[in-house]
Amino acid sequence: MSVGIGIIQTLITLIFLVGLFKTFSYGALLRMHLVSVLSTYKQLFNPYAPGNHLFWAAVPVLAAIIALFILRNEDRLLTLNRYL
């Protein structure tokens, strides 16, 4: 089952990279990254444990993906949607 989920995530990422089906692919990528960030909330909110600062790198990426989802209709650079 994990292989199937990995294949689906890989396909969603490839669709996102080429810029097709922007609402679906950007939204799915946002949901995938949001789940991964929220699953590390214990490490994010425990500042005194060693080595937890690397989990904070995902938070600005999450903000960038949210901004990209909001501006998905303006994203035309290097996308196949521009040519279709």
Q: Is 18:75 a contact under the CB 8 Å cutoff?
A: no
Q: Which domain holds residue 21?
A: 2-82
pLDDT tens readout for residues 20-57: 888 899 999 999 999 999 998 888 888 777 767 778 88
In angstroms, the first-to-last Cα distance of the chain is 34
% of residues, the chain, pLDDT over 70: 93
pTM: 0.79
At 42, the amino acid letter reads: K
pLDDT value for 83:
56
pLDDT at 17 over 90: no
Question: How many C-beta atoms surround the C-beta of residue 29 within 10 A?
Answer: 19
pLDDT on residue 35:
94
Number of domain units in the chain: 1
